[in-house]
Amino acid sequence: MNWPLRTPVRAADRLAADIVDLAADSSDLKRQNAELRRQLAETKSLLAVAREANVTQAARLLQLVRLVRALNEGAKTRPLQPLSRWVKFGPMATFLATFKKEN
């Protein structure tokens, strides 16, 4: 190849420049890899928290479904008993008391 100023480019010079470029690229990739691994760990942690919250909410929802069924059955079997008495002293009274404490 003819260079404009007729300066020869030695293969050793080209190789040394390539090695420097590769080393710089490698360190950048290592930094990016470390950052991505940190982000992955943080995402996994958030996912575990979300799953735990989902399980808690599902359990709470099942308790509410049981409560509604119990209220419905109680109203069918004892239509003359006041609802407030059933809520205070009925089979689900302790569960209903937790709502009063939270709110």
pLDDT digits (tens, 9 = 90+) for 8-64: 556 666 666 666 676 777 778 888 889 999 999 999 999 999 999 999 899 988 888
Q: Is the pLDDT of residue 82 over 90?
A: no
pTM of the model: 0.47
**Domain extent listing, the chain:** 11-102
Give CA angle at 37 (33, 41), nearest 5°: 175
Predicted local distance difference test score (pLDDT) of residue 90: 79
- CA distances in angstroms from 66 to 55, 57, 58, 83, listed in the order given: 17, 14, 12, 16
